Structure 1
């Protein structure tokens, strides 16, 4: 079997439909069917069960799906490593980042990376599914909330940081040096929607204290939340680093939460079996240093 046949096979797996897979590949449906039959003849087992107009993977097909993806990834890694050797750089590094960190925190580091690796394309992708994106090879590196250990991944612990109450300077609590988590209960808040990791951490901490937060508005970006706080729509609860590294024009105050505040534990992850380019290795080092500050 060759990688072209594996690509054809994986396309059929994606669609479970020969015509749709053929259209995606830019070949005719008979040609695709013939190549799959050649592959099945070589392996000595059917890869798909054809049930009327529907197809499903056989046990042999499920096995080839696992190893076929690894074959294509190995080919990609081999080509990338050789191209890097020939060019002395280049290529692409895909970094998955939580939305709040991508808004403000990491842009200076991206500029620093480009200055040192101008021929390497950096793709910074906002996502909540950091570990899944890394495992699916959608991104090369990811920075997210610490997850359960996985032997397919290299997981590097970064810093842990508490959440703080962020308020407008005219807010009744603006003069306080600290607040207790319980004091958040009556406040109108602007927050990420439920399902966002930061929102879930805050909700969990509040439930453990015996209350639920009340939101007056919800948005999906850190910048919009801070604008809403600036407009005195409500307060918000965000990671300690957000205002420290965020733009100064918001002119907001971050008040520490003293008793059992929500805390996020960050980690950097990449697949253990992937080729790591020089640019990716350097970016990994810089990210570790950045989050140690």
Structure 2
């Protein structure tokens, strides 16, 4: 069995169409079909059921797909490890992070890391689905929020952050230092849309007190949220360190009593993924940045 056969097999599994898989691989369809037949002959079992123009992965094919995924991941890890030895402090790191944290939280961290490791290329991607990105190898590591334990992941806790009420300096509550969570019930809110983690964390907290947020405007952009709050259109509930980092004199933060929403931040990466020297250094800097 040759590695190229596994690559051909995986492409057909992903496309479930020989012609499309062949185009993706840059080979002809007859050549791809021939190589799959060679692999099937070697294993002694069909890997695909061909039903007219459609194909379906057989039980043997599903088994091979599982092992082939591990084998190709291991091979990529070997290549990455050897490349890491060759380049030492070189290479590339891709990181998934929540959009709001990307916009306001980690700029200085990226600057500091670049000064220490100028040969390392950082690729920072905003995402609201970081766990999926990590599991599907779209990013090397992620900074996840309220991540549940998963056998496929290494999880390194960073910190726990409390949410606060954020109002314009012109708002009637601007001079208050604290508010009970029950008092949020009637306040007109500017929030992320439903389904966004930053919204769900707050909704889950107020739900335990028997109410839902009174949301008058929704936007997926934290910058838009803050602009609307600054103009006193409504108020919002956001992590306190995020508001601290903004350091905006036109915004006031008010502590929430009796069960403030909170989030836990963690570094996550696949347990079977090779962690380069550069990635290890970035993880250490993340830990220092968020916990220091």
Per the shorter chain, which TM-score range?
over 0.9
Aligned residues: 292
Equivalent residue runs for 1:256-271 within 5 Å: 256-271=255-270
- CA RMSD of superposed structures (Å): 1.3
For 1:89 and 1:47, the matched residues in 2 are separated by 42
Match of 1:27 in 2: 27
Q: Unaligned stretches of 5+ in structure 1?
A: none
Matching of residue 116 in structure 1 with residue 116 in structure 2: yes
For 1:4 and 1:231, the matched residues in 2 are separated by 59
Match of 1:84 in 2: 84
Provide the TM-score with structure 2 as the length reference: 0.96
Match of 1:285 in 2: 284
For 2:26 and 2:195, the matched residues in 1 are separated by 38
Shift of 1:43: 1.5
For 1:289 and 1:205, the matched residues in 2 are separated by 29
For 1:250 and 1:50, the matched residues in 2 are separated by 66
Equivalent residue runs for 1:126-141 within 5 Å: 126-141=126-141
Q: Unaligned stretches of 5+ in structure 2?
A: none
**Cα 1:40/1:54, change in 2 over 3 Å:** same
Provide the TM-score with structure 1 as the length reference: 0.96
For 1:202 and 1:146, the matched residues in 2 are separated by 13
**Cα 1:143/1:225, change in 2 over 3 Å:** same
Shift of 1:237: 0.3
Shift of 1:143: 0.9
Match of 2:41 in 1: 41
Match of 1:159 in 2: 159
Match of 2:239 in 1: 239
Which of structure 1's runs of 4+ aligned residues deviate more than 6 A? none
Shift of 1:146: 2.8
Shift of 1:148: 2.4
Match of 2:213 in 1: 213
Contact 2:88/2:277, CA 8 A, preserved across alignment = no
